[in-house]
A = this chain, B = another copy of it.
Amino acid sequence: MQELHFAVPMAGAVLCTLNTRHNSSMIVGLLRYSEAKIIFVDHKLLQIAEGALSHLSKDKTIKPPILVVIPKFENSSHPLLETPNIHEYENLLASESSNFTIRWPKTEMDPISVNYTSGTTSSPKGVVYNHRGAYLNTISTFLVCGMGPMPTYLWTVPMFHCNGWCLLWGMAALGGTNVCLRHVSARTIFESISHNKVTHMGAVPTILNMIANSPLNDRKPFTHKVEILTGGSSPPPQILFKMEELGFRVTHGYGITEAYGIVTSSLWKPEWDSLPLDGQAALKARQGVQHLCIEEVDVRDPETTERVPANGKTIGEIMLRGNVVMNGYLKDIKATKEAFEGGWFHSGDLAVKHPDGYIEIKDRLKDIIISGGENISTLEVERVLYSHPAVLEAAIVARPDDHWGQTPCAFVKLKDGFLEITAEEIINFCRDHLPHYMAPRTVLFEDLPKTSIGKVQKFILREKAKALGSLH
Interface residues of A (CB under 8 A from B): 139, 146, 148-150, 173, 267-270, 292-293
Ranked nearest first, the 5 interchain pairs of A and B with the lowest CB-CB distance are A173-B292, A146-B148, A139-B139, A149-B267, A150-B270
The interface centre, meaning the residue of A148, A149, A293 with most chain B CB atoms within 10 A of its CB, is A149
A173 neighbours in B (Cβ, 8 Å): 292
Let me know if B139 and A292 touch, CB within 8 A: yes
In the docked arrangement, what's the CA distance between A392 and B139, Å? 41
For A146, the closest partner residue in chain B by CB is: B148
Report the minimum CB–CB distance from A444 to chain B (whole Å).
Answer: 43
In the docked arrangement, what's the CA distance between A213 and B173, Å? 38
Report the minimum CB–CB distance from A358 to chain B (whole Å).
Answer: 13
Report the minimum CB–CB distance from A135 to chain B (whole Å).
Answer: 9
Report the minimum CB–CB distance from A295 to chain B (whole Å).
Answer: 11
Report the minimum CB–CB distance from A264 to chain B (whole Å).
Answer: 14
In the docked arrangement, what's the CA distance between A268 and B148, Å? 12
A150 neighbours in B (Cβ, 8 Å): 269-270
In the docked arrangement, what's the CA distance between A146 and B147, Å? 9
Report the minimum CB–CB distance from A243 to chain B (whole Å).
Answer: 20
A149 neighbours in B (Cβ, 8 Å): 146, 267-268
In the docked arrangement, what's the CA distance between A270 and B268, Å? 28
11 inter-chain pairs at a CB distance below 8 angstroms, sorted by A residue, are: A139-B139, A139-B292, A139-B293, A146-B148, A146-B149, A148-B148, A149-B267, A149-B268, A150-B269, A150-B270, A173-B292
In the docked arrangement, what's the CA distance between A146 and B151, Å? 13
A268 neighbours in B (Cβ, 8 Å): 149
In the docked arrangement, what's the CA distance between A44 and B297, Å? 42
Report the minimum CB–CB distance from A290 to chain B (whole Å).
Answer: 12
For A147, the closest partner residue in chain B by CB is: B148
In the docked arrangement, what's the CA distance between A390 and B270, Å? 46
A148 neighbours in B (Cβ, 8 Å): 146, 148
For A267, the closest partner residue in chain B by CB is: B149
Report the minimum CB–CB distance from A241 to chain B (whole Å).
Answer: 22
In the docked arrangement, what's the CA distance between A269 and B293, Å? 28
In the docked arrangement, what's the CA distance between A469 and B357, Å? 69
In the docked arrangement, what's the CA distance between A268 and B268, Å? 28
Report the minimum CB–CB distance from A155 to chain B (whole Å).
Answer: 21
Report the minimum CB–CB distance from A249 to chain B (whole Å).
Answer: 12
A269 neighbours in B (Cβ, 8 Å): 150
In the docked arrangement, what's the CA distance between A139 and B268, Å? 20
